[in-house]
Amino acid sequence: MTATPWAPDPKLDLVLEREIDVPRELVWAAWTQAEHIPHWFTPAPWTVSHCEIDLRPGGMFSTTMRSPEGQDYPNIGCYLEVVPCQRLVWTDALLPGYRPAAEPFMSAMLLLDELPGGRTRYRAVAIHRDEAGRQRHEEMGFHQGWGTALDQLVAYAKQM
């Protein structure tokens, strides 16, 4: 079964693409093992106060982000595709077990390509319902937020 071809729509999607000096096996581990998430997932001074991962299609990807003031913001998503070290897809349009969610915002895709010298081409895509959703996410600071998280992931992975 071929994977879904990835063709971002510039009006609806946001993409972070970068080549990083981390082998993709470590990137995959950082994204898919709950104990690693708090070390990089939220740009400081925000933290991750809870993370639960059930890594399979239909399984739970739950993270709770805590603001510097101590307020918790839970987010529950559902994994859609899990192709180890290559491709991870999840959405908040569905709860675990594929139940439609009340307030869908986006699906997301992580695509990892192996590069020579233990490097990785890292692409993270946020897939929105409409242009307003994309714009809202951009204004919330998608590029800086996801970029800073990736900086943190790279720094953390070097000592994993």
CA separation for the pair 7, 5 (Å, rounded)? 6
Give the Cα separation of 18 and 88 in Å (integer).
Answer: 17
Return the residues of window 109-128 that contact a second copy according to CB under 8 A.
109, 127-128
- If binding is defined by CB under 8 A, does position 2 make contact with a second copy? yes
For residue 151, count CB atoms less than 10 angstroms from its CB and return exposed for 0-12, middle for 13-18, buried for 19 or more.
middle
In the bound state with a second copy, the residue whose beta carbon lies nearer, of 43 and 96, is 96
**Does residue 38 bind a second copy (CB under 8 A)?**
no
Alpha-helical (H) ranges within the chain are: 24-32, 131-139, 142-157
Element holding 45 (H helix, E strand): none
List the one residue from 1, 45, 116, 140 that touches a second copy (CB under 8 A): 1
Contact between 94 and a second copy (CB under 8 A)? yes
Per CB under 8 A, does 138 bind a second copy? no
Q: Which is nearer to a second copy, 51 or 82 (CB)?
A: 82
Rg (CA), the chain: 15
Q: Name the site residues for a second copy (rule: CB under 8 A).
A: 1-4, 7, 12, 56-59, 80-82, 89, 91, 93-94, 96-102, 104-107, 109, 127-130, 133
